[in-house]
Amino acid sequence: MKAKKRPCSRVFVDIPSLCSCSSIVVYNQSVCSPITSSFTPFAMLLRILFLATAALVSAFLFAIPPGSPEQIVERIKASGQLCRAGDPCVTAGTVFSVSAMPRGGMEVYQGFCFACHTTGASNSPILGDMAAWAPRIEKGMDVLYESTFNGINLMPARGTCNNCTDDELRAAVDYMLDQVR
């Protein structure tokens, strides 16, 4: 008489058997009869893929870069160094002033103004649109410059170029007006 197929009553079942081993296994007085052999080609392929994947993952997780710790620190060290005037790392001729070379109107426009003045965001006049610029030009250049310095409506003060000089901002306004004249 054959044994009836019953599930295993144990909590943990080892992966190779899963109650489908090649011979009858007894756990806690329960009989697990074979369903399929644990040595099928598919099961073997799954085991090989699992082991290969585990080997690759562990190789990436626990890889040690080549070289001594000193060589690694030297290799990942920043290529530049931030020095301020008066620091011992500063040598003659290496201190540069941000405003040493003023930016031109086109450069300021392309760096800051273009975001709104090419799309018309926040009702800003589009570069080259005479109809949009005409009412602003009628108010006079001083009003245009003051609007640029202090902001107007949704335009922020200095057009978000907080490190621009007044002359650089004037050059940007002149550049935009040159496109409609």
3-state secondary structure of 31: strand
Under 8 Å between Cβ of 77 and 88 = no
Q: Is 11 left (phi over 0), alpha (psi -120 to 50) or beta?
A: alpha
Express as a percent the part of the chain with pLDDT over 90: 33
pLDDT for position 4 = 55
Q: Fold for domain 105-178? A: Cytochrome Bc1 Complex; Chain D, domain 2 (1.10.760)
Q: Which amino acid is at 6?
A: R
pLDDT at 34 over 50: no
pLDDT for position 1 = 54
pLDDT at 168 over 90: yes
Beta-strand runs (E) in 24-174: 25-27, 30-32
Compute the Cα dihedral for 72, 76, 79, 81 and give only its sign.
negative
Under 8 Å between Cβ of 154 and 122 = yes
pTM metric for this prediction: 0.47
Q: What's the pLDDT tens digit per position in 151-162?
A: 998 999 998 888
Which residue spans of the chain are classified as CATH 1.10.760.10? Answer: 105-178
Cα angle vertex 25, ends 24, 28, to 5°? 140
What integer is the mean pLDDT of 18-23? 46
CA distance to 39, 47, 63, 64, 139, per residue, from 157 (Å):
76, 66, 52, 52, 19
pLDDT at 3 over 90: no
